[in-house]
Chains A and B, each alone.
Chain A
Amino acid sequence: MIKNIKFSIILLIIATVQSNALIEVDITRGNLDPLPIAVSPLSSDNETNSKLIKELKIDKVGQKISNVVENNLKNSGLFNPLNKDAFLQKPDIAHLKPRFEDWSLIKAQALITGKVTLNDGKLRVEFRLWDVLAGKEMMALAFTTVPSNWRRVGHIITDKVYERLTGEKGYFDTRIIYVAEDGPKTKRIKKLAIMDQDGSNTKYLTLGNELVLTPRFNPTNQMVTYLSYFRNLPRVYLLDIETGVQEVVGDFPGMTFAPRFSPDGKKIIMSFAMDGNSDIYTMDLENRIVDRITNHPSIDTSPSYSPDGKFICFNSDRSGYQQIYVMKKDGTGVKRISFGKGLYGTPVWSPRGDLIAFTKLHKGKFYIGVMRTDGTGERLLTENYYQEAPSWSPNGRVLIFYRETKTDSQGKGFSAKLWSIDLTGYNERMVKTESDASDPSWSSLLSN
């Protein structure tokens, strides 16, 4: 539906100067001292500029791409992009050979330069990452794509820079699916919405005629599973974002909810509620075989697979209150892992496999936290009046969740917004959305 105007990334290795990089960014600790980086606007010649304006109505595309990169780097909390007013060297000259003294003068430790050209209607973008202190090139790459994909080029450049400087995969060429909200609290209108990770390119996937909740990406492609109240029958649905085709998952005689994909994308795991009892089931999307995973008179919900697919964490009140449990994928070996004070919900297994993120309710406050998969090492990242439903960035370094405000004595002032926070507990920030928003789910990297 939205996608994917054939995006051929041609990675051209322009130069392979191996350098012993002096700069590296440690992302395992809270970074209170972000790396000063200069993002020089990508240069383009007059011919390219006039063609882009005339044919595609895109002005200053080089500058726009560098703005995308700069914004991404800043939001990561690990980098401090320097003010362009202080740049001494012109973009086209810097891209050929930076005068490192000029860049170290303004305290830049890393420099990104680049160039945009238009050939046969295709946008060709090349960029270089420079180590200013060592006076060396660290990376040089070029991409060719259709011009309308220029924002994605900015995200891919950021991913490459992030990976080169931190040693870990980035999370910038990704999308967020979420529920867009509008209207009074008692009659909320909810629609599925999708946007780029940085909040641009918002598109609405449903019209708001029926209540929709908890969309989740397939980790292997651009399919989504979610809960819809279509015809007042709350059921788990499957949505192909590209075609817009929706279908109900399975033929259950009651409410199905809390869906997620298995890591290989071939199954959906969800809750099925019948006669006041919710248990966990899976459905194989190829042969439509349904398996019952839990069988217990308590509420069992919010299931999430480990990335190797061998284990499932879930939420159950079998102890009397909501707690987090882990079991084998066939439902055996159930073990409670949350033992701290308060209630625990919405467990989500990290894509790295080592942690489970959760929501915790204790003494009237809601927390987003993480614990090891055996329940040890609980760490609360953020406290608020109401927040829940963390979703991991594909590299397992950032969590996105939603937060609701308390209403006043007249019941006014309600809002719901998306927020993100680093695993370190630093860099908490609101993620801008066009409307109120909840239930975010982070896609995997669109390109690799």
Chain B
Amino acid sequence: MNLSKFFKNAFLVMLACLVLSACATKKVQNQMQGDVYTGTDTVEYLASGVPDRVFFATNESVLTTASRDTLRKQAEWLRKNSKVNVVLEGHADERGTREYNLALGERRANAAKDYLMTYGISANRISVISYGKERPVDSGSNPLAWSKNRRSVTVKAN
């Protein structure tokens, strides 16, 4: 009797654990596609509906579909606000050597710059700076934190 009660309790606890961990996993998965961040926790907005940043996969500088969508919105906003200049700040996560990450951040910011240029934004309105892994937004040491840190952020320069 006691024993079966014990098992029943244990079973309930295990079930609860499973449900909770499933939720946790699901939450992370909802914020990442592959290892690219798709959440909005860290995102700020240049204007209503114009997110300021795009995210990258590990060691990559290829723009995802979502990134290109964000950059088209930025381009449209920049066309409307033709006096605004921007700085594209490229970043990498902490899981790489410092010097390589500086180069990688520069490559990422330039991928964003090239895309803005193909949508009609003049190169002389865009400057680029890489911070490598020096300025993470999330100080965590886990895949979700790293995915938030692999980014190119468009910042108003004037």
Contacts and interface: CB of A to CB of B under 8 A. Distances in A.
Nearest to B108: A276
A321 B106 contact: no
B150 to A, nearest CB: 15
A302 B100 CA distance: 8
A315 B99 contact: yes
A379 B98 CA distance: 22
Given A232-B129, A386-B94, A255 B99 contact: no
B136 interface: yes
Given A185-B136, A276-B114, A411-B145, A389 B98 contact: yes
Interface stretch (A20-28, A65-73, A140-148, A401-409): A401-409
Contact of B102 (A234, A276, A346, A361): A234
Contacts of A386: 94-95
Overall SS of chain B's interface: mixed
Contacts of A406: 141
Contacts of A389: 97-98
Interface in A291-323: 299, 301-302, 315, 317, 321-322
Interface string A11-23: 0000000000000
Given A232-B129, A301-B99, A302-B97, A213 B107 contact: no
Contacts of A412: 139
Interface in B96-141: 96-100, 102-104, 106-107, 109-111, 113-114, 128-131, 134-141
B67 to A, nearest CB: 15
Given A232-B129, A255-B130, A315 B102 contact: no
A385 B129 CA distance: 28
B85 interface: no
Contact of B100 (A185, A275, A345): A345
A188 B95 CA distance: 17
B31 interface: no
Interface residues of A, number: 45
Contact of B138 (A213, A273, A345, A411): A411
A322 B100 contact: yes
A345 B97 contact: yes
A409 B141 CA distance: 8
A411 B145 CA distance: 9
Interface of B: 59, 61, 94-100, 102-104, 106-107, 109-111, 113-114, 128-131, 134-142, 145
24 contacts: A184-B139, A186-B139, A214-B98, A234-B129, A258-B102, A273-B102, A275-B110, A276-B61, A278-B103, A278-B106, A299-B103, A301-B99, A317-B59, A322-B96, A345-B99, A361-B96, A364-B95, A407-B141, A409-B140, A409-B142, A411-B138, A411-B141, A411-B145, A439-B98
Interface of A: 184-188, 211, 213-214, 227, 232, 234, 254-255, 257-258, 271, 273, 275-278, 299, 301-302, 315, 317, 321-322, 345-346, 359, 361, 364, 385-386, 388-389, 404, 406-407, 409, 411-412, 414, 439
